A and B are shown apart, each in its own frame.
Chain A
Amino acid sequence: MELLAAGFIEDNIVPKFNYWIYVILMMIGLYAMITKNNLIKKLIGMAVFQTAIILFYVSIGVKEESGIPILGHGQHHEIVEEGKPSGEVITKDEFANPLPHVLMLTAIVVGVSTLGLALAISQRIHGSFGTLEEDEILDQLRPGGHD
């Protein structure tokens, strides 16, 4: 049983641990967004949820034994296909894929603006209801509620 578990961890969890972490984070975020009663806690869940997706994207840009995608001094600005002789020129295997990272810059901006807007709206909700607990707000909205 122990061996089986060890094999499972080695085959499925170790090589894919970034995916496991993103899925776990995403589920934590989703859980908070759906079940939490406090509006700010929902927003914290939303931030965790969005960050999990950013983690997923950033981790897919990684290649084994690759560095950051910045050209050093004197390196030629051309990329050669694998298999061709590479003397002075650089190969694309040396660099991590920068595209997912660049995409995530945009996604971070979107996430920040969503969060900012949501916080502004929750401030308005607090201003008009005097509370950020969802059940208390719904109590006030009920026709017979104290209001």
Chain B
Amino acid sequence: MTEHYPVVILMAPLFGALLATLLGRGRQVACWWTALIALGISALFAVGNICAVLASGEGELRYRMGGWHESSGYEVGIELRVDMLAALVVAAVTLVGFVNTIFAKTRVTGEMREKVSFYYALNQLLIVGLCGIVMTNDAFNLYVLIEITSLTSYALIAMGNRRAALSSFNYIIMGTIGASFYLLGVGYLYIKTGTLNIDDIRGVLQSGNLWGHASITIAFILIMLGVWIKMALFPLHGWLPNAYCYAPSAVSSFMAPLMTKVMVYVMLRVMLWLFGSEYVYSSGHVWGELIIWMSIIAIVAGSFLALARTDIKKMLTYLIVAEVGYMVGGAWLVNGAGLAGSMYHIFSDAAMTFCLFLAASIVILRTGDHRLTAFNGLFRRMPLTMIGFTVGALSMIGLPPTCGFFSKWYLISGGIEAGHWAYVAALLFSSLVNAVIFFRIFERAYFGNLKGVADEQFPDDRDSAPPLTLERVPCSMLIPLFLAVMAVLLVGIYNNTLVSWLKAAMPPL
């Protein structure tokens, strides 16, 4: 049974999505249970998957879809490959999906009205796509799964107000360019190697010594550009803030922690497993230094743009842009600490972004205000929610024992080891800016509006009617928030175990 775990993870939400569509409108509670059970099964098997990978001797599971065996040394069919990194990312994806479904229950009825069943169906399809991206070992299959995730997220974002439809349209244009660049890169690799299996491509590149060819360089650049557009690395981030800000809150609360992080995983996968670290990190290429500088610009620009925002969610989306810079930079430091920090930050950023988005959604819902003014005197009125927000915020700033501290620790030690001081400085600078951003909010939340700045000083760039407000925050929203807080703390406290698992999955540098 253990060998079938990866497929069960994919199948449960896939059938759940079909069932939710069939149940249709009018049966909202049934749809919710379908999503909850399907994602629950998926999360359960994802955790079992981690144990299975730990128990297996080689540290990875392989699953040939449809039982297509290799012929003359090459994989013929689509193969799933789950190593420790993939197993952990899948567990994070399914757990966030599961917890967010609990959170969504009371929220979607107001936000989606008659489209609730479609929300649950698309929500589950998105989780299927993300899990597939993480586990697949086939370069073309990866493209198809990226497009499945993108299509569902376009539709989910467009479920919001009219600004959301416009942001979703821009996301479609940018996302299609990104995915097409990836597809084109895979085409060049296929011309050179004649195979689509990720391990086989690396094997052929190695055995045929094809690394010097121009088409391989072109393929690498195209794939990287495509993945960067999808993960919103700074100059290519244009689609992200609006899309995540105007999307319905039940959508952005799980898309924001997952989408960019899974694309960072894809980047690591392409770098280390598809092309191989010998090629990517070889000193003959100019790009290593260039990309670290790009990530430094991303960190600094993302932090500044976040500082300038007066809308809670917009501010958080620009923080995501800065965090993407952390991970991209860490991956190119060419040492174990930086790479481990980059991988570890996938989990810690997912946990803290999830925590902050949940808390921000509750605050916006309760106060009916999506500007920073919503936080005035909130510690007295909503102490539990603010505790959740505080833990997430302290993690963003980087205080122990939250996970944000440890990921910065690994990334900074990687930067010092590589002697890249500008990157270290950018990380510290971003920490400082985050401290300014969040202590500004804490001040309001504790003491109210001290400076007496009129609310009109905060321009409101939303054009929708104010969201419906709740009389009191239901338990179905507070419990997910506290689960997210637990995740932030647990990922932080058990950082040693996590990093040792991740280092075991890392190919030798």
A residues contacting B by CB (< 8 A) are 30, 33, 39, 42, 46, 49-50, 53, 56-57, 60, 100, 103, 106-107, 110, 113-114, 117-118, 121-122, 124-125, 128-129, 137, 141, 143, 147
Interface pair A57/B187, CB less than 8 Å apart:
yes
Q: Which residue of A has the minimal Cβ distance to B172?
A: A118
A141 CA to B166 CA in the complex, in Å?
Answer: 11
Q: How far is the CA of A57 from the CA of B189 in the complex (A)?
A: 12
The 7 closest A-B pairs by CB, nearest first: A128-B162, A110-B147, A124-B165, A118-B172, A121-B158, A125-B165, A121-B169
The 8 Å CB contact of B191, one of A60, A118, A121, A122, is A60
Please give the distance in Å from A66's CB to the nearest CB on chain B.
Answer: 16
14 contacts between A and B (CB under 8 A): A46-B172, A50-B180, A53-B180, A100-B187, A100-B190, A107-B183, A110-B144, A110-B147, A117-B155, A118-B169, A118-B172, A121-B165, A122-B169, A129-B162
A60-B191, A129-B162 given as contacts; is B147 within 8 A of A46 (CB)? no
Contact mask B146-167 → A, CB, 8 Å, 1/0?
0100010011001000110110
Residues of B within 8 A of A33 (CB): 173, 176-177
Report whether A49 and B176 are in contact in the complex, using a CB–CB cutoff of 8 Å.
yes
Interface of B toward A, CB cutoff 8 Å: 140, 143-144, 147, 151, 154-155, 158, 162-163, 165-166, 168-169, 172-173, 176-177, 180, 183-184, 187, 190-191, 459, 461, 463
Known: A39-B169, A46-B176, A137-B166. A121 touches B154 (CB 8 A): yes
Chain B neighbourhood of A106, CB < 8 A: 140, 144
CB of A114 within 8 A of CB of B169, answer no
CA distance A53 to B181 in the complex (A): 9
Q: Give 8 A-B pairs besides A100-B187, A125-B169 with Cβ atoms closer than 8 angstroms.
A: A49-B177, A60-B191, A106-B140, A114-B147, A114-B176, A122-B169, A124-B158, A143-B461
A60 and B169 contact, Cβ closer than 8 Å, known pairs A117-B155, A129-B162: no
Contact between chains at A114 and B459 (CB < 8 Å): no
Q: How far is the CA of A42 from the CA of B183 in the complex (A)?
A: 20
List the A residue with the shortest CB-CB distance to B186.
A103
Q: Are B190 and A121 in contact (CB under 8 A)?
A: no
Knowing A33-B177, A46-B176, A114-B151 are in contact, say whether A53-B169 is a contact too (CB < 8 A): no
Residues of A within 8 A of B147 (CB): 110, 114
Task: Report yes or no: A113 in contact with B154, Cβ–Cβ below 8 A.
Answer: no
CB distance from A63 to the nearest CB of B (A): 13
With A110-B147, A125-B166 as contacts: A117 and B154 at CB distance below 8 Å: yes
Inside 8 A of B191's CB, which chain A residues have their CB?
Answer: 60
Q: Name the residue on B nearest A107 (C-beta).
A: B183
B151 touches A60 (CB 8 A): no
Instruction: For the complex, give the distance between the alpha carbons of A107 and B148 in Å.
Output: 11
A103 touching B165, Cβ below 8 Å = no
